[in-house]
Each structure stands twice: as structure tokens, then as C-alpha cells.
Structure 1
Amino acid sequence: MLDQLGREINLKNTPKRIVCLVPSLTELLVDLGLSDWLVGVTKFCIHPENLRKQKTIVGGTKSIHADRIAALKPDFILCNKEENTQEIVVACEQIAPVYVSDINDFDSFYSFVDDLGTLLRCKPQAEALVTAVKNRLEQFRAKMVSEPVRSVLYIIWKDPLMAAGRVTFINVLLEVCGFRNSIAEEHSRYPEVDSELLKKADYVLLSSEPFPFSEKHIAEFETQTEAQILCVDGEYFSWYGSRLLKAFDYFQDLVFQMK
């Protein structure tokens, strides 16, 4: 099998000792019923709530303790192109087979979950999750048909000021909500933005991650734009795992809040 970067994955047996370096995918593995197989996670793997007390923390998403990972004797390591560096992937390859995900839209999410179902022998759970997400997505889109198109700027970082561009999973979810991204560049990822762009949006969304924006930051942005400023839960917009099942209810409440 190939991972989502086209790298060949060779597994002798079904993995029983998994290290996951991607918070959203750690939650996904648990929801697929694989918690007992997880032996190592990052310090940012905060869902489920008590998981980090039960597993070995092997570092973060950008910096790991390779010796801790090696000591766990994993037989499978799960990484992500955006979350983890190439150096981390190379280091992990010296320890165990590494699958690198690259999820930028729903199709790549479905494909990834299907791969997990095959590699980790949890096909029924994986298929059930994909079906559930597809159904929720279809239902949500039907509800959004009559909603007006709103121009939004989704801010992810404060200094420098950065926003989610067009080639991101965040942008896909913004479009699902009926929003139009104020970032015009088609191939943009996370560009820096200025106050002029803030003025062009109908709404400025301040994400709770990676920068921890909160209500206290709203007044600061209100001095730069007449757009409505809202704080949003970044996990629902950027966690491409089983959290998607909860995301659509959150999106519906958010759109209702904008009326």
C-alpha cells in the first residue's frame, strides 16, 4: 500500500503498537476502537481528555523525542504532511513503518480512513465513519442552500497576522458553511494579511488554534475593520478526523449566530 505521499508502506503484521504524532488522528484512532493499540502520543493529543495520562508522551508535532518513540517499540507510526516535519518522518522511519497522511479535502479524508481500515484491520468501523460523515455533510449542505454567501477572513496567527488560504482543509469547511474566503490567491496556504484585507471581509473569524485567540482579542480587531468579529473553535475547522461528526452542529450554530 502507498500512503498519501505515494510512499510504500510495508507491514508484516497488523500493527499492535501505534505511535500517533497528529492530535486529530489520535482522536480518530480512539473512535475507531484502537485505543488499546496506541502506545505513544504528542502533548497536543488532548482528546479524549484523559488519554495523555494513559499513554507515553513523545513530544509535540514539530519536535519529538525519538528515543522515547524507539523505547516503545512501535510497529506503526502515523504522521501528517502539514503537522509534522520531513525531519520527523525521516527519524521515525528508522524506528518503524511510517504512514504520512495529506488531507486537504473530503475525498482525501475518505481515502485516508479507508487506508486505516485496511492497514489496522478495522474496515467496518472505518466504513461506518465515512458513511456517517458523508451523510452529515449532505444534510448540512442541504440546510445551507438558502443561506446568503458571506465573505470571511479566517485568522490563525497574530504576529505576523496570518490567515487560512485557499489550499487548506479549513477553506473546504468554510465553503461548506457557505462562506467565501477573502483570500483571493488560488494557491495560497497560510499567507500574511494586512489591515486592508480585514476591511474587505463581512466577518473576521479568530481561530482558537494554533494561536489561542479568545474574546479578549475582539476589541483589538474592531479598531481595524467594520466586519463582525467572532471567535471560533479551531478544532472544528482544522481537525480532519472523527471530530467532523460533531463539526456540522457547530457550524450550524455559527451560521445562526451570524444572522
Structure 2
Amino acid sequence: MIKLIDQIGQEHIFENTPKRIVSLVPSQTELLCDLGLEEQIVGVTKFCVHPFYLKEIKEVIGGTKQVHIDKIKALQPDIIIANKEENTFEIFEELKGICPIWVTDIVSLDDNNQMINDFGVLFNRRTDAKKWIDKIKFAQKDFMNFVKDKPVYDVAYFIWRNPFMVAGNNTFINELLKINKFSNIYANREERYPEIIINRIKLDGDPELVFLSSEPYPFKEEHAFEIGRHTHHGKTIFVDGEMFSWYGTRVVKAFEYFKIIHSRL
């Protein structure tokens, strides 16, 4: 018997290790595969792009905000892996009764490591989970040593346009910005992803660096010009959104990617 509490406080009891998994979160799909659970995954979202071939061999059950309930039922899953931010309360309500829904809630690297450890216990992959946690801790320690003498930059991290939206406080993105010694000018907002008025960005904090993420909105050069002309001397940098917002095993690659970002400054 397995008895565990997920990251939103739900208690789950399993008589046996769950064998048929539906994943509603791209980064967690990647994590499950890296833990050696690819065969057990029966359903994924259309945004589950790592490994690249997975959508060709698994049932695609919709997106992260809208899913095909009937498709999920037909897969007869033992467990559905979801996330508090990526998915919606409405989805959780619709899926109730099919099987247990394991919900993660990731804001910090400690949360991330806890998720990996939980999956190790839940799916009997403890050794693989420990290896990945050790890799992440080593990569983090190495990066903290790399960045310790770097200057602090005021930054704004854009995730959307029309309306303009940025990463705020209490987000995984903000956590990774802090580790990079990037001071988020919108970390003082109550909203996690506040809408902003672009012609007020100087008053908001006039960032030295403007990060335009590759996802969820695909920013282009014209958007860099549009935003940049409202800053004083802000440098615009296009960044890989997966590296700043995907948790799980992607974090190991993210630390190496951050070194590249710093080399451009």
C-alpha cells in the first residue's frame, strides 16, 4: 500500500503502484520519461513536446486548460498527474471519479525536488528520483558559484502581449530570476502574472534587462522594438521559456542555459 500527500494537501492511498498514467503537464511528462516511466504513460497533452516523439505514440487528450474527458476515461488511467497552475479547478472537477488526481504546486526548487521525490515513491522509481535530485543540486551549487560575483540587474520578464503580462512574485519564473541575481521589478505586485501598461514601465522600475519569453507567447523582433522604446536603456533579450518556467528534470539544462544568458550581458 502507498499512502502519500500531494502538494495541495490531498491524501492519496494506492493498493498498488499506479501503472497507467495520464499527464496533463508538459514538464512533468518529461520528468516521468526521465524517471523511466515512458511505457506507463498512456495519455499526454498536445503541448507535451519532450521527448519529441511522444505525441506520436501516446493518446493526445487535449491541452492543459481543456481536455477531452471521454478520451481520458477510455484510457482507464490509474492516476492523472496535474498541476495547480497549469491546469484548472474546472478540469479537476470534471475528472473527479475517473481515478486519483495527483496535483503538484511548484514555486521553489525545494518544491521541485519534493515533486521528484514524490514521483519516485509513487511509481517505485526511488533510485532514479534520487539521481535526478542529486544532479539538480550539483548543477545548482555549480551555478551559484558561477553567479556569485555577477552584478544584480533589474529585469522584467514578459510572458504575453495584448494585454502585456509579466511574471510576478510567487512564481517559479521569479524563483529562477532570483537565483540568477535578476531583480524582478514586478515582484512587488500581488498578482502572480500581472497585466501591465507598457508606457508606464519606466515608472514601474525601468528595467535594465527585458526578457521576452518564447512561450506561452511567441515574441518577435517587432515586439522587442515596441517594448524597448518605452524603457530608458533596457536591453531586450529573447529567452527560452522552457528554461525559466519548466520544472522537473529540465532544471539541470536550465542552469547551463543561464550561463549562456550571462555571457550575453
Structure 1 and Structure 2 fold alike (TM over 0.5): yes
Match for residue 155 of structure 1?
158
Is 1:227 aligned to residue 231 of structure 2?
no
Q: Is the 8 A contact 2:158 2:211 kept in 1?
A: yes
Q: How does 1:34-183 map to 2 (within 5 A)?
A: 34-183=37-186
* Alignment equivalent of 2:224, drawn from 218, 221, 244: 218
Q: Which amino acid aligns with 2:238?
A: C
| TM-score, with length taken from structure 1 | 0.97
Q: Structure 2 CA distance, aligned partners of 1:216 and 1:13?
A: 54
Q: Is the 8 A contact 1:156 1:210 kept in 2?
A: yes
Shift of 1:14: 0.7
Q: Is the 8 A contact 1:182 1:197 kept in 2?
A: no
Identity among equivalent positions (%) equals 45
Q: Structure 2 CA distance, aligned partners of 1:69 and 1:105?
A: 30
Query: Which moves more between the two structures, 182-191 or 224-233?
Result: 182-191
Is 1:24 aligned to residue 45 of structure 2?
no
Q: Which amino acid aligns with 2:56?
A: K
Shift of 1:93: 2.3
- The number of residue pairs the alignment matches comes to 258
- The alignment partner of 2:11 has SS state of coil
Shift of 1:218: 1.6
* Alignment equivalent of 2:245, drawn from 200, 222, 238: 238
- Contiguous gaps of at least 5 residues in structure 1: none
RMSD of equivalent CA atoms: 1.2
Match for residue 12 of structure 2?
9
Which consecutive segments of 4 or more residues in structure 1 shift more than 6 A? none
Q: Structure 1 CA distance, aligned partners of 2:77 and 2:187?
A: 43
| TM-score, with length taken from structure 2 | 0.94
- Contiguous gaps of at least 5 residues in structure 2: none
**Alpha-carbon deviations, 1:157-178, whole Å to 9, x = none?**
1011110001100001001111
Query: Which moves more between the two structures, 192-201 or 243-252?
Result: 192-201
Query: Which moves more between the two structures, 17-26 or 214-223?
Result: 214-223
